[in-house]
Structure 1
Amino acid sequence: MSTLSSPSLALTGVTGALGGMVARSLAADGVPFRAVARTPSKLPGRLAADVRQAEFGDRGAVEAALQGIETVLMVSGSESADRLEQHRTFVDAAAAAGVRHVVYTSFVGAAADAVFTLARDHGATEEHIRASGMQWTFLRDSFYMDVMEPFAGEDGVIRGPAGDGRCALVARSDVARSAAAVLRDPAAHAGATYDMTGPEALSLTDVARIITEVRGREVRFQDETIEEAYASRAVYGAPDWQVDAWVSTYTAIGSGGMATVSDAVERLTSEPPLSFEAFLRTASTSRL
Protein backbone atom coordinates (compact mmCIF):
# COMPACT_ATOMS: atom_id res chain seq x y z
CA MET A 1 0.00 0.00 0.00
CA SER A 2 1.13 3.60 -0.36
CA THR A 3 0.42 6.96 1.19
CA LEU A 4 -1.10 9.84 -0.72
CA SER A 5 2.12 11.85 -0.46
CA SER A 6 4.91 9.66 -1.74
CA PRO A 7 8.20 9.76 0.18
CA SER A 8 11.45 10.67 -1.60
CA LEU A 9 13.49 8.07 0.30
CA ALA A 10 13.41 4.29 -0.22
CA LEU A 11 15.03 1.57 1.86
CA THR A 12 15.95 -1.94 0.77
CA GLY A 13 16.87 -4.79 3.11
CA VAL A 14 14.11 -3.76 5.50
CA THR A 15 13.25 -7.35 6.47
CA GLY A 16 16.90 -8.06 7.31
CA ALA A 17 19.01 -7.16 10.32
CA LEU A 18 20.78 -4.02 9.07
CA GLY A 19 18.00 -2.58 6.92
CA GLY A 20 15.50 -3.28 9.67
CA MET A 21 17.57 -1.31 12.18
CA VAL A 22 17.80 1.64 9.80
CA ALA A 23 14.06 1.50 9.11
CA ARG A 24 13.18 1.46 12.81
CA SER A 25 15.51 4.38 13.51
CA LEU A 26 14.05 6.55 10.77
CA ALA A 27 10.47 5.56 11.63
CA ALA A 28 11.05 6.50 15.26
CA ASP A 29 12.12 9.97 14.11
CA GLY A 30 9.14 10.35 11.83
CA VAL A 31 11.20 10.23 8.63
CA PRO A 32 8.95 8.99 5.80
CA PHE A 33 10.30 6.28 3.54
CA ARG A 34 9.21 3.63 1.08
CA ALA A 35 10.10 0.06 2.03
CA VAL A 36 11.18 -2.08 -0.93
CA ALA A 37 11.11 -5.74 0.05
CA ARG A 38 11.41 -9.06 -1.70
CA THR A 39 8.83 -10.48 0.71
CA PRO A 40 6.69 -7.64 2.09
CA SER A 41 4.81 -10.02 4.40
CA LYS A 42 7.98 -10.28 6.51
CA LEU A 43 7.98 -6.55 7.20
CA PRO A 44 6.95 -5.74 10.79
CA GLY A 45 3.52 -4.16 10.92
CA ARG A 46 3.29 -0.35 10.83
CA LEU A 47 7.01 0.06 10.17
CA ALA A 48 6.31 1.69 6.81
CA ALA A 49 3.10 2.96 5.25
CA ASP A 50 4.50 2.76 1.73
CA VAL A 51 5.62 -0.76 0.80
CA ARG A 52 6.57 -2.12 -2.62
CA GLN A 53 7.59 -5.63 -3.66
CA ALA A 54 10.74 -6.12 -5.74
CA GLU A 55 13.81 -8.33 -5.95
CA PHE A 56 17.19 -6.89 -6.90
CA GLY A 57 17.36 -9.04 -10.02
CA ASP A 58 13.91 -8.07 -11.32
CA ARG A 59 14.56 -4.87 -13.25
CA GLY A 60 10.94 -4.15 -14.03
CA ALA A 61 9.79 -4.55 -10.45
CA VAL A 62 12.66 -2.45 -9.10
CA GLU A 63 12.07 0.32 -11.61
CA ALA A 64 8.37 0.42 -10.70
CA ALA A 65 9.11 0.33 -6.96
CA LEU A 66 11.51 3.29 -7.18
CA GLN A 67 9.34 5.64 -9.21
CA GLY A 68 9.35 9.07 -7.56
CA ILE A 69 12.28 8.21 -5.28
CA GLU A 70 15.26 10.55 -5.02
CA THR A 71 17.49 8.60 -2.59
CA VAL A 72 17.68 4.86 -2.01
CA LEU A 73 19.52 2.85 0.61
CA MET A 74 20.88 -0.15 -1.26
CA VAL A 75 21.72 -2.78 1.33
CA SER A 76 23.97 -5.27 -0.42
CA GLY A 77 22.18 -8.47 -1.37
CA SER A 78 22.54 -11.85 0.27
CA GLU A 79 25.70 -13.72 -0.62
CA SER A 80 25.19 -15.72 -3.79
CA ALA A 81 27.00 -16.68 -6.97
CA ASP A 82 25.04 -14.08 -8.95
CA ARG A 83 24.96 -11.25 -6.41
CA LEU A 84 27.00 -8.89 -8.61
CA GLU A 85 24.60 -9.41 -11.52
CA GLN A 86 21.67 -8.67 -9.20
CA HIS A 87 23.39 -5.52 -7.94
CA ARG A 88 24.01 -4.25 -11.46
CA THR A 89 20.39 -4.89 -12.40
CA PHE A 90 19.19 -2.96 -9.36
CA VAL A 91 21.48 -0.01 -10.09
CA ASP A 92 20.38 0.14 -13.72
CA ALA A 93 16.74 0.04 -12.67
CA ALA A 94 17.26 2.77 -10.07
CA ALA A 95 18.86 5.04 -12.64
CA ALA A 96 16.06 4.35 -15.12
CA ALA A 97 13.47 5.18 -12.44
CA GLY A 98 15.03 8.60 -11.90
CA VAL A 99 16.74 7.96 -8.57
CA ARG A 100 19.35 10.65 -7.95
CA HIS A 101 21.39 9.22 -5.06
CA VAL A 102 22.36 5.69 -4.00
CA VAL A 103 23.64 5.01 -0.49
CA TYR A 104 25.29 1.60 -0.74
CA THR A 105 26.51 -0.71 2.03
CA SER A 106 29.87 -1.90 0.72
CA PHE A 107 32.93 -3.42 2.36
CA VAL A 108 36.27 -2.12 3.63
CA GLY A 109 38.91 -2.28 0.91
CA ALA A 110 36.37 -3.02 -1.83
CA ALA A 111 38.40 -3.55 -5.01
CA ALA A 112 39.00 -5.98 -7.85
CA ASP A 113 42.10 -7.33 -6.09
CA ALA A 114 40.70 -7.49 -2.54
CA VAL A 115 41.88 -10.44 -0.46
CA PHE A 116 38.35 -11.05 0.81
CA THR A 117 36.71 -12.44 -2.30
CA LEU A 118 33.27 -10.94 -1.67
CA ALA A 119 34.83 -7.48 -1.42
CA ARG A 120 35.62 -7.82 -5.12
CA ASP A 121 31.89 -7.88 -5.88
CA HIS A 122 31.48 -4.79 -3.73
CA GLY A 123 34.22 -3.03 -5.66
CA ALA A 124 32.55 -3.87 -8.96
CA THR A 125 29.19 -2.68 -7.61
CA GLU A 126 30.73 0.63 -6.54
CA GLU A 127 32.17 1.10 -10.03
CA HIS A 128 28.77 0.39 -11.59
CA ILE A 129 27.12 2.94 -9.32
CA ARG A 130 29.77 5.55 -10.17
CA ALA A 131 29.21 4.95 -13.87
CA SER A 132 25.41 5.25 -13.55
CA GLY A 133 25.33 9.03 -13.37
CA MET A 134 23.65 8.96 -9.95
CA GLN A 135 25.16 10.52 -6.85
CA TRP A 136 26.52 8.00 -4.38
CA THR A 137 27.63 7.44 -0.82
CA PHE A 138 29.48 4.26 0.15
CA LEU A 139 29.41 2.84 3.66
CA ARG A 140 32.25 0.33 3.67
CA ASP A 141 31.62 -2.06 6.54
CA SER A 142 34.30 -4.03 8.31
CA PHE A 143 33.48 -7.55 9.50
CA TYR A 144 30.63 -7.50 11.98
CA MET A 145 31.18 -8.09 15.67
CA ASP A 146 27.78 -9.78 15.54
CA VAL A 147 29.15 -12.90 13.84
CA MET A 148 32.28 -13.45 15.90
CA GLU A 149 30.77 -15.74 18.51
CA PRO A 150 29.28 -18.10 15.92
CA PHE A 151 32.76 -18.39 14.37
CA ALA A 152 33.67 -20.51 17.37
CA GLY A 153 32.51 -24.08 16.89
CA GLU A 154 30.80 -26.17 19.51
CA ASP A 155 34.26 -26.97 20.82
CA GLY A 156 34.93 -23.24 21.41
CA VAL A 157 37.61 -22.97 18.73
CA ILE A 158 37.81 -20.25 16.06
CA ARG A 159 39.75 -21.78 13.18
CA GLY A 160 41.23 -20.02 10.18
CA PRO A 161 44.38 -18.74 8.48
CA ALA A 162 44.44 -15.29 10.10
CA GLY A 163 47.72 -15.52 12.00
CA ASP A 164 48.35 -12.43 14.13
CA GLY A 165 46.42 -10.17 11.76
CA ARG A 166 44.04 -7.64 13.23
CA CYS A 167 40.58 -6.44 12.25
CA ALA A 168 38.71 -3.28 13.26
CA LEU A 169 35.42 -5.09 13.82
CA VAL A 170 32.21 -3.04 13.82
CA ALA A 171 28.82 -3.59 15.43
CA ARG A 172 25.98 -3.86 12.93
CA SER A 173 24.01 -1.40 15.08
CA ASP A 174 26.74 1.22 14.61
CA VAL A 175 26.56 0.80 10.84
CA ALA A 176 22.79 1.21 11.04
CA ARG A 177 23.11 4.38 13.12
CA SER A 178 25.57 5.75 10.59
CA ALA A 179 23.36 4.88 7.63
CA ALA A 180 20.37 6.56 9.28
CA ALA A 181 22.44 9.69 9.86
CA VAL A 182 23.45 9.81 6.20
CA LEU A 183 19.87 9.27 5.03
CA ARG A 184 18.58 12.16 7.13
CA ASP A 185 20.68 14.51 4.96
CA PRO A 186 21.91 12.59 1.90
CA ALA A 187 23.10 15.62 -0.04
CA ALA A 188 25.66 16.41 2.64
CA HIS A 189 27.31 13.04 2.01
CA ALA A 190 27.24 12.84 -1.78
CA GLY A 191 30.51 11.48 -3.15
CA ALA A 192 31.72 10.34 0.28
CA THR A 193 33.13 6.95 1.20
CA TYR A 194 33.11 6.01 4.88
CA ASP A 195 34.93 3.07 6.44
CA MET A 196 32.68 1.63 9.13
CA THR A 197 34.83 0.25 11.95
CA GLY A 198 34.85 -0.11 15.68
CA PRO A 199 37.31 1.72 17.97
CA GLU A 200 40.07 -0.91 18.01
CA ALA A 201 41.80 -3.48 15.85
CA LEU A 202 41.72 -6.96 17.39
CA SER A 203 43.43 -10.20 16.51
CA LEU A 204 41.32 -13.34 16.61
CA THR A 205 43.29 -14.32 19.70
CA ASP A 206 42.00 -11.08 21.26
CA VAL A 207 38.48 -11.90 20.08
CA ALA A 208 38.63 -15.35 21.67
CA ARG A 209 40.00 -13.92 24.92
CA ILE A 210 37.27 -11.28 25.18
CA ILE A 211 34.50 -13.79 24.49
CA THR A 212 35.97 -16.02 27.21
CA GLU A 213 36.12 -13.16 29.71
CA VAL A 214 32.61 -11.86 29.02
CA ARG A 215 30.74 -15.13 28.49
CA GLY A 216 32.63 -17.33 30.92
CA ARG A 217 32.96 -19.88 28.14
CA GLU A 218 36.44 -20.86 27.07
CA VAL A 219 37.10 -19.87 23.47
CA ARG A 220 40.44 -19.94 21.69
CA PHE A 221 41.82 -19.18 18.26
CA GLN A 222 43.61 -21.87 16.25
CA ASP A 223 45.60 -20.64 13.27
CA GLU A 224 45.35 -22.80 10.15
CA THR A 225 47.29 -22.99 6.95
CA ILE A 226 45.26 -22.18 3.84
CA GLU A 227 45.33 -25.88 2.90
CA GLU A 228 44.02 -26.86 6.34
CA ALA A 229 41.30 -24.22 6.10
CA TYR A 230 39.98 -25.57 2.81
CA ALA A 231 40.17 -29.15 4.10
CA SER A 232 38.31 -28.36 7.32
CA ARG A 233 35.48 -26.70 5.38
CA ALA A 234 35.17 -29.34 2.66
CA VAL A 235 32.77 -31.36 4.82
CA TYR A 236 30.01 -28.77 4.30
CA GLY A 237 29.75 -29.43 0.57
CA ALA A 238 29.42 -25.73 -0.17
CA PRO A 239 30.07 -24.32 -3.65
CA ASP A 240 33.61 -23.14 -4.41
CA TRP A 241 32.75 -19.43 -4.30
CA GLN A 242 31.30 -19.83 -0.81
CA VAL A 243 34.29 -21.75 0.54
CA ASP A 244 36.61 -19.15 -1.00
CA ALA A 245 34.66 -16.47 0.86
CA TRP A 246 34.87 -18.35 4.15
CA VAL A 247 38.61 -18.89 3.91
CA SER A 248 39.36 -15.39 2.63
CA THR A 249 37.57 -13.92 5.63
CA TYR A 250 40.57 -15.10 7.62
CA THR A 251 43.27 -14.40 5.04
CA ALA A 252 41.93 -10.84 4.72
CA ILE A 253 42.46 -10.37 8.45
CA GLY A 254 45.86 -12.01 8.22
CA SER A 255 46.89 -9.68 5.38
CA GLY A 256 46.75 -6.63 7.66
CA GLY A 257 44.29 -4.89 5.38
CA MET A 258 41.48 -4.95 7.92
CA ALA A 259 43.38 -3.31 10.77
CA THR A 260 42.84 0.40 10.07
CA VAL A 261 40.54 2.09 12.59
CA SER A 262 38.23 4.79 11.27
CA ASP A 263 36.43 7.56 13.17
CA ALA A 264 33.57 7.66 10.65
CA VAL A 265 30.92 6.25 12.99
CA GLU A 266 31.56 8.95 15.57
CA ARG A 267 31.78 11.69 12.93
CA LEU A 268 28.44 10.67 11.45
CA THR A 269 26.52 9.96 14.66
CA SER A 270 28.32 12.08 17.29
CA GLU A 271 28.64 8.93 19.39
CA PRO A 272 31.62 6.55 19.54
CA PRO A 273 31.22 3.02 18.20
CA LEU A 274 30.97 0.05 20.52
CA SER A 275 34.07 -1.86 21.50
CA PHE A 276 33.83 -5.62 21.12
CA GLU A 277 33.64 -6.08 24.88
CA ALA A 278 30.86 -3.49 25.15
CA PHE A 279 29.02 -5.11 22.27
CA LEU A 280 29.07 -8.51 23.96
CA ARG A 281 27.85 -7.01 27.21
CA THR A 282 25.03 -4.94 25.73
CA ALA A 283 23.89 -6.55 22.48
CA SER A 284 22.46 -9.89 21.46
CA THR A 285 24.69 -11.82 19.10
CA SER A 286 23.18 -12.26 15.65
CA ARG A 287 22.99 -15.84 14.42
CA LEU A 288 22.33 -14.83 10.81
Structure 2
Amino acid sequence: MIVITGATGALNGATVDHLLELVHPSEIAVAVRDVARAQRFADRGVQVRRGDYDDSDSLTTAFDGADQVLLVSSSDPGADATALHRNAIDAAVAAGAGRILYTSHQGAGLDSPFKPARDHAATEQMLADSGVAWTSLRNGFYAHSLDFVMGDWRETGVVSIPVDGPVSWTDRADSAEAAAAILTSDGAYEGPTVLTARDAPTMTEVAAIASTVVGRKIEVSIVGEEQWVADRVAAGANEFMARFTLGIFLAAHDGRFAGTDPLLGELLGREPRTTRDFLVSSERAT
Protein backbone atom coordinates (compact mmCIF):
# COMPACT_ATOMS: atom_id res chain seq x y z
CA MET A 1 0.00 0.00 0.00
CA ILE A 2 1.25 3.47 -0.95
CA VAL A 3 -0.20 6.32 1.12
CA ILE A 4 0.19 9.85 -0.26
CA THR A 5 -0.47 13.01 1.74
CA GLY A 6 -1.50 16.36 0.29
CA ALA A 7 -3.21 14.75 -2.69
CA THR A 8 -5.70 17.61 -3.01
CA GLY A 9 -2.75 19.84 -3.86
CA ALA A 10 -1.20 20.24 -7.30
CA LEU A 11 2.04 18.33 -6.72
CA ASN A 12 0.98 15.16 -4.94
CA GLY A 13 -2.39 15.14 -6.69
CA ALA A 14 -0.54 14.84 -9.99
CA THR A 15 1.69 12.16 -8.47
CA VAL A 16 -1.40 10.09 -7.67
CA ASP A 17 -2.64 10.56 -11.24
CA HIS A 18 0.64 9.21 -12.61
CA LEU A 19 0.73 6.43 -10.03
CA LEU A 20 -2.69 5.24 -11.19
CA GLU A 21 -1.10 4.55 -14.57
CA LEU A 22 1.44 2.26 -12.92
CA VAL A 23 -0.38 0.36 -10.15
CA HIS A 24 -3.93 -0.76 -9.35
CA PRO A 25 -6.05 1.79 -7.44
CA SER A 26 -6.45 -0.67 -4.57
CA GLU A 27 -2.72 -0.24 -3.86
CA ILE A 28 -3.09 3.51 -3.25
CA ALA A 29 -4.55 5.57 -0.42
CA VAL A 30 -4.55 9.34 -0.03
CA ALA A 31 -4.41 11.10 3.33
CA VAL A 32 -6.04 14.53 3.15
CA ARG A 33 -7.42 17.09 5.58
CA ASP A 34 -10.72 17.44 3.71
CA VAL A 35 -11.92 14.10 2.33
CA ALA A 36 -14.67 15.79 0.31
CA ARG A 37 -12.04 17.45 -1.86
CA ALA A 38 -10.57 14.04 -2.76
CA GLN A 39 -13.74 12.61 -4.30
CA ARG A 40 -12.12 12.35 -7.73
CA PHE A 41 -9.70 9.79 -6.31
CA ALA A 42 -12.45 7.85 -4.55
CA ASP A 43 -14.29 7.70 -7.87
CA ARG A 44 -11.27 5.92 -9.34
CA GLY A 45 -11.05 3.33 -6.56
CA VAL A 46 -8.42 5.00 -4.39
CA GLN A 47 -8.91 4.84 -0.62
CA VAL A 48 -9.49 8.30 0.84
CA ARG A 49 -8.48 8.75 4.46
CA ARG A 50 -8.47 11.78 6.71
CA GLY A 51 -4.97 12.82 7.72
CA ASP A 52 -3.92 16.16 9.18
CA TYR A 53 -0.33 17.00 10.17
CA ASP A 54 -1.80 18.91 13.13
CA ASP A 55 -3.64 15.79 14.34
CA SER A 56 -1.25 12.94 15.09
CA ASP A 57 -4.04 10.45 15.83
CA SER A 58 -5.54 11.01 12.38
CA LEU A 59 -2.16 10.36 10.78
CA THR A 60 -1.58 7.06 12.54
CA THR A 61 -4.93 5.85 11.24
CA ALA A 62 -4.35 7.31 7.77
CA PHE A 63 -0.99 5.53 7.43
CA ASP A 64 -2.26 2.15 8.62
CA GLY A 65 -1.01 -0.68 6.41
CA ALA A 66 1.36 1.54 4.43
CA ASP A 67 4.41 0.02 2.80
CA GLN A 68 5.41 3.49 1.61
CA VAL A 69 4.27 6.95 2.70
CA LEU A 70 4.87 10.03 0.57
CA LEU A 71 4.83 13.16 2.73
CA VAL A 72 4.28 16.54 1.14
CA SER A 73 6.14 19.39 2.81
CA SER A 74 4.17 22.12 4.54
CA SER A 75 3.50 25.07 2.22
CA ASP A 76 2.45 27.55 4.92
CA PRO A 77 5.22 30.16 5.30
CA GLY A 78 4.08 30.98 8.84
CA ALA A 79 3.75 27.42 10.11
CA ASP A 80 6.18 25.49 12.30
CA ALA A 81 6.94 23.16 9.40
CA THR A 82 9.46 21.00 11.22
CA ALA A 83 6.97 20.25 14.02
CA LEU A 84 4.31 19.31 11.46
CA HIS A 85 6.77 17.12 9.58
CA ARG A 86 7.86 15.45 12.82
CA ASN A 87 4.22 14.54 13.54
CA ALA A 88 3.94 12.94 10.10
CA ILE A 89 7.24 11.06 10.33
CA ASP A 90 6.46 9.75 13.83
CA ALA A 91 3.03 8.59 12.65
CA ALA A 92 4.51 6.80 9.63
CA VAL A 93 7.03 5.03 11.87
CA ALA A 94 4.29 4.08 14.35
CA ALA A 95 2.17 2.70 11.50
CA GLY A 96 5.04 0.44 10.44
CA ALA A 97 5.76 2.06 7.07
CA GLY A 98 8.66 0.42 5.27
CA ARG A 99 9.78 3.62 3.52
CA ILE A 100 9.05 7.29 3.99
CA LEU A 101 9.40 9.65 1.03
CA TYR A 102 9.34 13.42 1.40
CA THR A 103 9.03 16.31 -1.06
CA SER A 104 12.14 18.32 -0.22
CA HIS A 105 14.09 20.89 -2.21
CA GLN A 106 17.44 20.93 -3.96
CA GLY A 107 18.62 23.84 -1.81
CA ALA A 108 18.03 22.10 1.53
CA GLY A 109 20.50 23.40 4.11
CA LEU A 110 20.40 24.40 7.77
CA ASP A 111 22.34 27.59 7.01
CA SER A 112 20.27 28.69 4.01
CA PRO A 113 18.86 32.24 3.94
CA PHE A 114 15.60 30.72 2.61
CA LYS A 115 13.51 29.40 5.53
CA PRO A 116 11.91 26.41 3.75
CA ALA A 117 15.38 25.16 2.85
CA ARG A 118 16.24 25.06 6.56
CA ASP A 119 12.98 23.23 7.28
CA HIS A 120 13.77 20.70 4.55
CA ALA A 121 17.23 20.05 5.96
CA ALA A 122 15.84 19.59 9.48
CA THR A 123 13.19 17.20 8.15
CA GLU A 124 15.77 15.18 6.26
CA GLN A 125 17.71 14.80 9.50
CA MET A 126 14.56 13.58 11.23
CA LEU A 127 14.09 11.05 8.46
CA ALA A 128 17.68 9.88 8.80
CA ASP A 129 17.16 9.46 12.55
CA SER A 130 13.82 7.65 12.16
CA GLY A 131 15.26 4.18 11.67
CA VAL A 132 13.08 3.71 8.57
CA ALA A 133 14.28 3.65 4.95
CA TRP A 134 13.74 7.09 3.44
CA THR A 135 13.95 9.04 0.22
CA SER A 136 14.08 12.82 0.03
CA LEU A 137 12.87 14.17 -3.31
CA ARG A 138 15.03 17.25 -3.70
CA ASN A 139 13.00 18.92 -6.41
CA GLY A 140 14.32 21.91 -8.29
CA PHE A 141 12.64 25.24 -7.65
CA TYR A 142 9.23 25.03 -9.28
CA ALA A 143 9.08 27.04 -12.49
CA HIS A 144 5.57 28.36 -11.83
CA SER A 145 7.15 30.45 -9.03
CA LEU A 146 8.63 32.62 -11.78
CA ASP A 147 5.25 34.31 -12.17
CA PHE A 148 5.58 35.49 -8.58
CA VAL A 149 9.27 36.33 -8.30
CA MET A 150 9.43 38.16 -11.64
CA GLY A 151 6.67 40.57 -10.65
CA ASP A 152 4.83 42.70 -13.21
CA TRP A 153 7.47 42.35 -15.91
CA ARG A 154 4.92 41.93 -18.70
CA GLU A 155 3.49 45.37 -17.99
CA THR A 156 6.72 47.20 -17.19
CA GLY A 157 9.26 45.36 -19.32
CA VAL A 158 11.51 45.21 -16.24
CA VAL A 159 12.27 42.44 -13.77
CA SER A 160 13.27 44.09 -10.49
CA ILE A 161 15.36 41.88 -8.21
CA PRO A 162 17.52 42.40 -5.11
CA VAL A 163 20.42 40.18 -6.26
CA ASP A 164 20.88 37.66 -9.04
CA GLY A 165 21.84 34.01 -9.07
CA PRO A 166 21.28 30.74 -10.97
CA VAL A 167 18.18 28.61 -10.38
CA SER A 168 17.33 25.26 -11.98
CA TRP A 169 13.68 26.18 -12.61
CA THR A 170 11.88 22.83 -12.74
CA ASP A 171 8.38 22.02 -13.91
CA ARG A 172 6.20 20.83 -11.03
CA ALA A 173 4.39 18.40 -13.32
CA ASP A 174 7.72 16.76 -14.17
CA SER A 175 8.51 16.43 -10.45
CA ALA A 176 5.15 14.75 -9.84
CA GLU A 177 5.69 12.25 -12.65
CA ALA A 178 9.18 11.44 -11.36
CA ALA A 179 7.83 10.87 -7.84
CA ALA A 180 5.43 8.23 -9.19
CA ALA A 181 8.34 6.51 -10.93
CA ILE A 182 10.38 6.48 -7.73
CA LEU A 183 7.45 5.13 -5.71
CA THR A 184 7.33 2.14 -8.06
CA SER A 185 11.09 1.57 -8.21
CA ASP A 186 11.28 -1.04 -5.43
CA GLY A 187 13.32 1.24 -3.19
CA ALA A 188 15.98 2.00 -5.78
CA TYR A 189 16.49 5.56 -4.51
CA GLU A 190 17.87 6.14 -1.03
CA GLY A 191 18.31 9.38 0.89
CA PRO A 192 18.58 12.76 -0.87
CA THR A 193 17.57 12.38 -4.53
CA VAL A 194 18.02 15.45 -6.74
CA LEU A 195 15.37 16.07 -9.41
CA THR A 196 16.04 19.19 -11.47
CA ALA A 197 15.80 20.64 -14.93
CA ARG A 198 18.91 20.49 -17.12
CA ASP A 199 19.89 24.14 -16.81
CA ALA A 200 20.11 26.78 -14.09
CA PRO A 201 19.78 30.25 -15.65
CA THR A 202 20.28 33.47 -13.74
CA MET A 203 17.41 35.94 -13.72
CA THR A 204 19.33 37.99 -16.25
CA GLU A 205 19.33 34.95 -18.51
CA VAL A 206 15.65 34.29 -17.78
CA ALA A 207 14.87 37.86 -18.86
CA ALA A 208 16.75 37.27 -22.10
CA ILE A 209 14.68 34.14 -22.72
CA ALA A 210 11.51 36.08 -21.89
CA SER A 211 12.53 38.73 -24.42
CA THR A 212 12.59 36.16 -27.21
CA VAL A 213 9.24 34.75 -26.07
CA VAL A 214 7.36 38.06 -25.99
CA GLY A 215 9.25 39.70 -28.85
CA ARG A 216 10.43 42.77 -26.94
CA LYS A 217 13.29 43.67 -24.65
CA ILE A 218 12.85 42.62 -21.02
CA GLU A 219 15.42 44.20 -18.75
CA VAL A 220 16.67 43.30 -15.29
CA SER A 221 17.10 45.91 -12.58
CA ILE A 222 19.18 44.85 -9.56
CA VAL A 223 18.14 47.24 -6.80
CA GLY A 224 19.64 45.76 -3.63
CA GLU A 225 18.03 43.90 -0.77
CA GLU A 226 16.46 46.63 1.37
CA GLN A 227 15.30 48.70 -1.60
CA TRP A 228 13.64 45.64 -3.12
CA VAL A 229 11.80 44.89 0.13
CA ALA A 230 10.75 48.54 0.46
CA ASP A 231 9.48 48.56 -3.13
CA ARG A 232 7.46 45.40 -2.51
CA VAL A 233 5.91 46.81 0.65
CA ALA A 234 5.12 50.09 -1.11
CA ALA A 235 3.35 48.07 -3.80
CA GLY A 236 1.12 46.49 -1.16
CA ALA A 237 3.00 43.35 -0.16
CA ASN A 238 3.17 42.17 3.43
CA GLU A 239 6.68 42.80 4.77
CA PHE A 240 6.91 39.26 6.19
CA MET A 241 6.21 37.80 2.77
CA ALA A 242 8.55 40.27 1.07
CA ARG A 243 11.41 39.18 3.31
CA PHE A 244 10.40 35.54 2.94
CA THR A 245 10.69 35.94 -0.83
CA LEU A 246 13.97 37.83 -0.44
CA GLY A 247 15.35 34.59 0.96
CA ILE A 248 14.83 32.94 -2.43
CA PHE A 249 17.05 35.50 -4.15
CA LEU A 250 19.71 35.41 -1.43
CA ALA A 251 19.89 31.62 -1.60
CA ALA A 252 20.11 31.77 -5.39
CA HIS A 253 22.88 34.36 -5.14
CA ASP A 254 24.75 31.92 -2.87
CA GLY A 255 24.46 29.26 -5.59
CA ARG A 256 22.18 26.99 -3.56
CA PHE A 257 19.81 26.36 -6.49
CA ALA A 258 22.51 26.14 -9.16
CA GLY A 259 23.02 22.40 -9.22
CA THR A 260 21.50 20.27 -11.97
CA ASP A 261 21.16 16.51 -12.30
CA PRO A 262 20.24 14.23 -15.23
CA LEU A 263 18.12 11.91 -13.05
CA LEU A 264 14.82 13.71 -13.68
CA GLY A 265 15.14 13.25 -17.43
CA GLU A 266 16.13 9.61 -16.96
CA LEU A 267 13.03 8.93 -14.86
CA LEU A 268 10.78 10.73 -17.34
CA GLY A 269 12.32 9.07 -20.38
CA ARG A 270 12.45 12.50 -22.06
CA GLU A 271 13.96 15.92 -21.59
CA PRO A 272 12.47 17.82 -18.64
CA ARG A 273 10.59 20.98 -19.48
CA THR A 274 12.75 24.09 -19.62
CA THR A 275 12.43 27.66 -18.42
CA ARG A 276 11.61 28.64 -21.97
CA ASP A 277 8.86 26.01 -22.11
CA PHE A 278 7.30 27.50 -19.00
CA LEU A 279 7.48 31.08 -20.26
CA VAL A 280 5.94 30.09 -23.58
CA SER A 281 3.03 28.29 -21.91
CA SER A 282 2.60 31.13 -19.45
CA GLU A 283 2.52 33.67 -22.27
CA ARG A 284 -0.13 31.68 -24.11
CA ALA A 285 -2.23 31.64 -20.94
CA THR A 286 -2.21 35.42 -20.53
The TM-score with structure 2 as length reference comes to: 0.88
Equivalent in the alignment of 1:3: none
Aligned to 1:188: 188
1:258: how far off? 1.6
- Deviation track 1:111-168 (CA, whole Å, cap 9, x = no partner) reads 21123221000100111111111110111122111121333333444332233x2111
The answer as to whether partners of 2:163 and 2:225 remain within 8 angstroms in 1 is no
Question: Would the aligned equivalents of 2:5 and 2:51 in 1 still touch at CA under 8 Å?
Answer: no
> Which structure 2 segments of 5+ residues have no match?
none
2:239 and 2:120 map into 1 onto residues whose CA distance is 20
Q: Is 1:228 aligned to residue 227 of structure 2?
A: yes
Moved more, 75-84 or 32-41: 75-84
The change in CA–CA distance for 1:188 and 1:40 in structure 2 (over 3 A counts) is: same
CA distance in 1, matches of 2:123, 2:285: 26
CA contact (8 A) 1:145 1:170 kept: yes
Total equivalences in the alignment: 277
Q: Secondary structure at the match of 2:261?
A: coil
2:33 is aligned with 1:34: no
SS in 1 for 2:194: strand
Instruction: Work out whether residues 35 and 51 of structure 1, in 8 Å CA contact, stay in contact via their aligned partners in 2.
Output: yes
Aligned CA-pair RMSD: 2.3
Cα pair distance change 1:64/1:199, threshold 3 Å = same
The 5 Å alignment of 1:142-157 reads 142-154=140-152, 155-156=155-156, 157=158
How far off is 1:98 after superposition?
1.0
Label 1:30 to 1:151 Cα distance change in 2 as closer, same or farther (>3 A): same
> How far is 1:237 from its partner?
6.0
Contact 1:162 1:204 in 2 (8 A): no
Query: Aligned ranges for residues 158-169 of structure 1 at < 5 Å?
Result: 158-163=159-164, 165-169=165-169
CA distance in 1: counterparts of 2:243 and 2:269, whole angstroms: 37
User: How has the CA–CA distance of structure 1 residues 283 and 52 changed in structure 2, closer, same or farther, with 3 Å as cutoff?
Assistant: farther
Mapped contact 1:169–1:276 kept (Cα < 8 A): yes
Map of 1:20 onto structure 2:
13
Greater shift in the superposed pair: 28-37 or 149-158? 149-158
Asked if 2 retains the 8 angstrom alpha-carbon contact of 1:34 and 1:51, the reply is yes
Moved more, 223-232 or 92-101: 223-232
Task: Select 2:137's aligned residue among 136, 139, 153.
Answer: 139
- SS of 2:94's partner is helix
Q: What percentage of residue pairs aligned between the two structures are identical?
A: 30
In the aligned structure 2, how far is the partner of 1:273 from the partner of 1:37?
29
Task: Pick closer, same or farther for the CA change 1:134–1:239 going to 2, 3 Å.
Answer: farther
Give 2:277's aligned residue: 278
Q: In structure 2, what is the equivalent of residue 175 of structure 1?
A: 175
Report matched runs for 1:198-209 at 5 Å: 198-209=197-208
Q: Does 1:121 align with 2:119?
A: yes
**Secondary structure at the residue paired with 2:20?**
helix
Paired residue secondary structure (1:19): helix
Q: Which amino acid aligns with 1:263?
A: P
Instruction: Say which is worse superposed, 87-96 or 256-265, in terms of deviation.
Output: 256-265
Q: Distance in 2 between matches of 1:196 and 1:162?
A: 25
Q: Secondary structure at the match of 1:78?
A: coil
The structure 1 residue matched to 2:46, chosen from 21, 42, 49, is 49
Letter in 2 for 1:133: G
In 2, Cα distance between equivalents of 1:161 and 1:286: 28
Query: CA offset at residue 41 of structure 1?
Result: 1.5
Match of 1:258, as an amino acid? F
Distance in 1, matches of 2:237 and 2:101, equals: 35
- TM-score, normalised to structure 1's length? 0.87
1:232-287, CA deviations, whole angstroms, 9 ceiling, x for partnerless residues?
Answer: 233446364x4432101111111122212211202323322111112334579999
